[in-house]
C-alpha cells in the first residue's frame, strides 16, 4: 500500500484516484466494444472500400489513436480535478508525504478572550485545532501533531503524536477543558520554541500553524518576529498564520488604580486615582466607574466625562477606611467585548498611625517644633517623634515613614550607615539647614560615597559652601517671590502651589550656597540630583535625589524664623502644604502593595518556629487550596508548574518577623535557614484578590491578601492586518496568512488553487480539441443535395 500512501502526497482526495484511473480505460473499452458489436452489410463496391482502406490505413490509425488518447486524457483531467491534484506537495496543508509534522502554536493570551458573537477568539482557535485534527485523521498515521500553548510553550499539550482517531478522542476532552489565560505573552518566545522543536525534526515535512488574534501590538517588535520567521523558512518550515478575529472592536480598560497610599492610614481619607483608557476608535462621552471597598459597593462612583480614542482619563475619589489593617478596593465599569480589563483591584495595609522621626541637631529648637506642628496639622495620621542624633545609633528606623534632619552637625559613622540603609530600603529623608551644619563634614562624609567603580551621590546631594549667606534684597517691599519651583514631575504640585498667593509672601533670609565648582545646571551635572526650587538670584534652594529605593529632599535653608518666614505667618500655610505634599511623595513604601499582574506566582516563606507548614490559598471564585510548604524553594508544592519557578517577585506588604510572602530582595537566600520553608502558588491567572492564610502554632489564622490585575497590553485590541504582517515579514514566501472564517486551507483547497485553474484550462482545451478532431474525423452529410 506504499503507493497508495504516496498518492496522498499529490492528491487532496486520493480516494478518487483509483476510480479515475479505472474510468480512464473507458474510451479503450468503448472502442473494443464497438469493434465487437458491428452490423453486417453485403456490399458490392468492395474494390473501392479496400482501396480507401489501404490508402488511409496509417492516417486513420494515427488519428484514431490521437482521439483515443485525447479522450483518455479528458477522463484523467476530470479525475485530477475531482481528486484535486497538487503538483507541489510543499504547498499541501495537510495531506502530504510520508510524515507531516504540524506544530500548532495556540495563542491563549488575554486578548484572545475577546467575545466574537456568541463565541470567543480562543474558542474559535480551539475549534480550528479540532478541525485540523479531524482533517488529518482522515490520513491516519501520516500526520503528527504538536500543540503548543503560548502561555507555556516549553510544555506542549500534545508532543509529536500521530493524528488518528485515538488522538482526536483524547484531544477532544482536553481542548474542551482548555481555558484561555488573562496574561500577556510574547509571540516571539512561542515562535522560538516551535522553531527549536521543528529544527530537531529532520525527517518530516514541517508546518507551523500560528493561531492568534494578531494584534498590532504583537507585531511591534518587527526584527524579533521577522528573524524567527525567516529562520523557520530557512529550516523548510511552512508558516501558516491563522487569524481568528474578523474585525476590531472597541474596548475600554481600567488601566490605573492607585492612591496616596504612602501616607494612608485608618480614618484618613485616601485619594484613589482611577484611570480608564479608551482603546477604541470613537470618543466615549461619559463613563461611570463603580467602586467597591472591601467587597462592598460604595455610594460614590468615579465619573469620567470624555475619553478620546487612545487616551487615558484619570478620575479621583476619596475613600476612608475606619479600621487599620488589610483593605481592598475594586473598581469596575460596564462589560464590553473584553470583560477582564473592566475591573481592577488594589489591596493595601492601613496603619493606625504614621510615625515620622524628626532629628533635631540643636535639641528642641523652634525648627523641630515648627515641623512637628506642620506634620500634626490637618486630617492625617502622622505621629512625629523628635529625637537627638544619637537616636539614629540606638534604634531601628524601619517603622518611620520619613526622617527629618534639622540642623544636624557631625554624625557618627554607624548613624550614617543606618540612615543609608533606611533610605536605600525605601525610606524618605529630608534635610534642613541650621547653624550647626559642618560644611566640610557634609562634603567629606555625606556628599559622596566612594565605590569600586567611582563615586556616587550619598545622603547629601551637593557640596555645601563654607557658611550660610543672606539673600540680598534690593528692595524689601518688593512683592515678588523669593523662590521659584521647577517643573519637576514628582513635585508638579509645588509648581501649582507656587501660583497661589501663599508662596508669594515667602521670604528667605539666609541660605547655604553650594560650592562654586558645583554646576547649578542639572543637565550639565547629570548626577541625578534635581533642583526643585531656586532663589530669586537663581541659586538652588531645594534639591531632590534618589538613594537606593528612597528619596531625599534637601532644603538649603532652615525651618525657623532665623532663616526664613516660611514656618510662620503669613507664609506658614504654604510650608504646611509643602510638607504634606512631600510626605505623599517620599514616605516609605511600607504597606503599599506593588501592582501585580496575573500569572505571577505567589511565593511565601514560612518560619516554622511560628507557623505550621500548611498554607491555605483562596483564589477568586475558587475553593481554598491547601499547600504544604517545603524546605526547598523548587519542590515546595505540588501545585506549582515547573515553568513558573523562574518567575521572580519582589517586595510585598506583610513583612513580619517570622513569615513573609514574596521576598523583598533578590539577594535574600531562599534556602538559608533550616527553619524557613517555602511555598509557591502559581495558579494566579484570574484577576482579583488572592488570600493566603497561615496558621500559627497557637492555631490562630493570619491572613494576607494580594491583588492581581490583567496586563494593559492585552487590552489593546487593534488588529494587525495582512499588509502589516507582510510588511513585518517581508517577502517570506513560506508564510501563508489565513483570513478569519476561512477554513479552506484546512481542507487543502488553497493548495490546488493554481493547478486547478491550469487543469480547468487544459480540460477546456482538450474538450475543444477532441470535439474538433472528432468532427473532422466523422462524416457530416451536406444539407443540400448529394454529391455524385
In the complex, which residues of this chain contact another protein (CB under 8 A)? Answer: 34-35, 37-53, 55-56, 60, 63-64, 777-779, 781, 786-788
* C-alpha grid cell, residue 760: 480547468
Q: Shortest Cβ distance from residue 79 to another protein (Å)?
A: 27
Nearest approach in angstroms of CB 763 to another protein is 26
| Cα 348 to Cα 599: distance, rounded to the nearest angstrom | 20
CB of 783 to another protein, least distance (A): 13
Minimum CB distance to another protein smaller for 63 or for 750: 63
DSSP 232: H
**Residue whose entry in the numeric block shows the C-alpha cell 525648627:** 367
Other residues' Cβ atoms within 10 Å of the Cβ of residue 461: 25
How many CB atoms lie under 10 A from the CB of residue 490?
14
Cell numbers standing for residue 467: 557658611
CA–CA distance, 144 with 138 (Å, rounded to integer) = 12
Written as nine digits, the cell of 103 is 506544530
Using the minimum distance from each CB to another protein, give the nearer residue, 55 or 757.
55
Quick one: 49 or 622, whose CB is closer to another protein? 49
Give the integer Cα–Cα distance in Å for 232 and 276: 40
Question: Do residues 257 and 329 make contact, with C-beta atoms less than 8 angstroms apart?
Answer: yes
Tell me whether residue 37 or residue 286 sits nearer to another protein (CB atom): 37
Is the Cβ–Cβ distance between 167 and 129 less than 8 Å? Answer: no
| Residue nearer to another protein on the CB measure, 64 or 501 | 64
State the residue for C-alpha cell 499539550.
Answer: 157
We find the least distance from the C-beta atom of residue 43 to another protein, in angstroms, to be: 4
Closer CB to another protein, 47 or 569, in the complex: 47
Could you tell me the smallest distance in angstroms from the CB atom of residue 779 to another protein? 4
Minimum CB separation from another protein for residue 1, in Å? 41
**Shortest Cβ 47–another protein spacing (Å):** 7
DSSP code for 263: G
User: Could you tell me the smallest distance in angstroms from the CB atom of residue 773 to another protein?
Assistant: 12
Phi-psi region of 538 (alpha: psi -120 to 50; beta: other; left: phi over 0): left
Residues 6+ apart with CB under 8 A from 250: 278, 279, 280, 281, 282, 336, 337, 717
Q: Which is nearer to another protein, 41 or 524 (CB)?
A: 41
Min dist. Cβ of residue 755 to another protein (A): 36
Our CB check for another protein shows the closer of 3 and 779 to be: 779
DSSP state of 125: H
CB of 788 to another protein, least distance (A): 6
Taking the least distance from each CB to another protein, the nearer of 476 and 779 is 779
Asked if residue 205 lies in contact with residue 96, where contact means CB atoms within 8 angstroms, the answer is yes
| Look-up of cell digits 529632599 | 553
| Coil, helix or strand at residue 302 | strand
Which strands sit side by side in the sheet containing 325-332, from one edge to the other? 296-304, 287-293, 325-332, 343-350
CB nearer to another protein: give 54 or 286: 54
Cβ atoms of 557 and 511 closer than 8 Å: yes
Integer Cα distance of 317 and 304 in angstroms:
11
Amino acid at each position: 500500500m506504499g503507493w497508495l500512501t504516496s498518492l496522498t502526497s499529490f492528491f487532496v482526495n486520493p480516494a478518487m484516484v483509483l476510480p479515475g484511473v479505472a474510468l480512464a480505460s473507458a474510451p479503450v473499452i468503448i472502442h473494443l466494444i464497438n469493434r465487437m458489436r458491428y452490423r453486417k452489410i453485403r456490399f458490392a463496391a468492395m474494390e473501392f472500400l479496400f482501396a480507401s482502406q489501404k490508402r488511409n490505413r496509417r492516417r486513420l490509425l494515427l488519428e484514431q489513436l490521437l482521439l483515443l488518447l485525447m479522450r483518455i486524457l479528458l477522463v484523467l483531467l476530470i479525475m485530477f480535478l475531482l481528486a484535486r491534484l497538487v503538483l507541489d506537495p510543499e504547498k499541501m496543508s495537510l495531506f502530504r508525504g510520508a510524515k507531516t509534522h504540524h506544530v500548532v502554536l495556540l495563542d491563549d493570551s488575554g486578548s484572545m478572550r475577546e467575545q466574537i458573537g456568541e463565541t470567543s477568539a480562543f474558542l474559535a482557535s480551539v475549534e480550528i485545532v479540532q478541525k485540523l485534527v479531524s482533517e488529518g485523521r482522515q490520513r491516519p498515521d501520516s500526520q503528527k501533531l504538536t500543540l503548543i500553548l503560548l502561555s507555556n510553550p516549553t510544555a506542549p499539550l500534545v508532543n509529536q503524536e500521530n493524528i488518528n482517531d485515538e488522538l482526536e478522542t483524547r484531544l477532544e476532552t482536553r481542548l474542551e477543558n482548555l481555558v484561555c489565560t488573562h496574561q500577556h505573552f510574547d509571540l516571539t518566545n512561542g515562535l522560538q520554541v516551535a522553531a527549536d522543536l521543528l529544527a530537531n525534526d529532520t525527517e518530516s515535512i514541517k508546518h507551523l500553524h500560528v493561531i492568534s488574534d494578531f494584534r498590532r501590538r504583537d507585531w511591534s517588535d518587527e526584527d524579533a518576529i521577522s528573524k524567527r520567521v525567516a529562520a523557520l523558512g530557512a529550516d523548510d518550515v511552512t508558516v501558516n498564520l491563522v487569524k481568528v478575529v474578523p474585525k476590531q472592536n472597541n474596548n475600554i480598560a481600567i488601566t490605573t488604580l492607585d492612591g496616596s497610599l504612602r501616607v494612608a492610614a485608618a480614618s484618613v481619607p485616601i485619594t484613589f486615582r482611577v484611570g480608564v483608557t479608551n482603546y477604541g476608535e470613537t470618543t466615549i462621552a461619559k463613563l461611570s466607574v463603580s467602586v467597591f471597598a472591601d467587597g462592598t459597593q460604595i455610594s460614590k462612583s468615579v465619573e469620567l466625562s470624555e475619553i478620546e480614542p487612545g487616551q487615558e482619563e484619570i478620575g479621583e475619589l476619596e475613600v476612608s477606611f475606619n479600621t487599620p489593617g488589610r483593605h481592598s478596593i475594586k473598581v469596575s465599569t460596564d462589560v464590553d467585548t473584553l470583560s477582564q480589563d473592566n475591573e481592577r483591584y488594589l489591596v493595601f495595609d492601613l496603619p493606625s498611625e504614621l510615625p515620622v522621626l524628626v532629628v533635631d541637631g540643636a535639641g528642641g529648637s523652634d525648627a523641630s517644633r515648627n515641623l512637628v506642628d506642620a506634620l500634626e496639622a490637618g486630617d492625617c495620621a502622622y505621629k512625629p517623634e523628635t529625637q537627638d542624633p544619637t537616636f539614629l545609633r540606638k534604634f531601628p528606623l524601619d517603622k518611620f515613614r520619613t526622617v527629618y534632619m534639622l540642623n544636624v552637625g557631625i554624625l557618627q559613622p554607624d548613624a550614617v550607615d543606618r540612615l543609608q540603609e533606611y533610605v536605600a530600603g525605601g525610606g524618605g529623608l529630608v534635610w534642613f539647614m541650621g547653624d550647626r551644619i559642618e560644611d566640610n563634614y557634609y562634603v567629606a562624609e555625606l556628599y559622596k560615597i566612594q565605590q569600586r567603580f567611582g563615586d556616587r551621590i550619598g545622603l547629601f546631594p551637593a557640596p555645601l559652601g563654607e557658611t550660610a549667606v543672606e539673600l540680598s534684597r534690593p528692595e524689601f517691599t518688593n512683592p515678588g517671590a523669593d523662590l521659584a519651583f521647577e517643573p519637576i514631575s514628582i513635585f508638579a504640585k509645588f509648581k501649582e502651589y507656587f501660583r497661589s498667593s501663599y508662596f508669594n509672601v515667602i521670604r528667605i533670609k539666609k541660605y547655604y550656597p553650594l560650592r562654586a565648582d558645583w554646576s547649578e545646571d542639572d543637565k550639565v551635572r547629570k548626577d541625578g540630583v534635581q533642583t526643585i526650587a531656586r532663589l530669586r538670584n537663581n541659586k538652588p534652594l531645594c534639591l531632590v535625589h534618589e538613594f537606593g529605593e528612597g528619596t531625599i529632599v534637601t532644603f538649603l535653608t532652615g525651618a525657623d524664623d532665623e532663616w526664613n518666614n516660611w514656618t510662620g505667618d503669613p507664609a506658614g500655610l504654604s510650608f504646611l502644604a509643602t510638607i504634606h505634599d512631600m510626605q505623599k511623595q517620599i514616605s516609605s513604601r511600607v504597606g503599599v502593595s506593588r501592582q501585580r499582574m496575573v500569572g505571577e506566582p505567589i511565593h511565601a516563606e514560612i518560619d516554622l518556629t511560628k507557623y505550621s507548614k500548611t498554607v491555605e490559598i483562596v483564589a477568586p471564585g475558587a475553593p481554598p487550596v491547601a499547600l504544604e510548604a517545603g524546605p526547598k524553594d523548587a519542590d515546595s508544592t505540588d501545585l506549582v508548574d515547573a515553568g513558573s519557578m523562574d518567575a521572580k517577585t519582589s517586595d510585598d506588604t506583610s513583612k513580619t518577623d517570622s513569615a513573609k510572602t514574596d521576598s523583598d530582595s533578590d539577594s535574600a537566600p531562599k534556602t538559608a535557614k533550616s527553619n524557613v520553608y517555602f511555598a509557591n502558588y502559581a495558579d494566579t491567572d484570574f484577576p482579583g484578590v488572592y488570600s493566603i492564610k497561615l496558621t500559627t502554632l497557637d492555631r490562630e489564622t493570619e491572613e494576607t491578601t494580594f491583588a492581581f490585575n490583567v496586563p494593559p497590553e492585552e487590552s489593546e485590541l487593534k488588529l494587525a492586518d495582512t499588509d502589516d504582517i507582510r510588511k513585518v515579514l517581508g517577502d517570506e514566501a513560506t508564510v501563508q496568512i489565513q483570513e478569519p472564517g476561512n477554513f479552506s486551507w484546512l481542507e487543502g483547497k488553497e493548495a490546488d488553487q493554481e493547478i486547478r485553474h491550469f487543469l480547468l484550462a487544459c480540460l477546456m482545451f482538450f474538450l475543444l480539441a477532441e470535439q474538433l478532431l472528432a468532427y473532422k474525423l466523422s462524416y457530416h452529410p451536406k444539407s443540400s443535395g448529394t454529391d455524385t
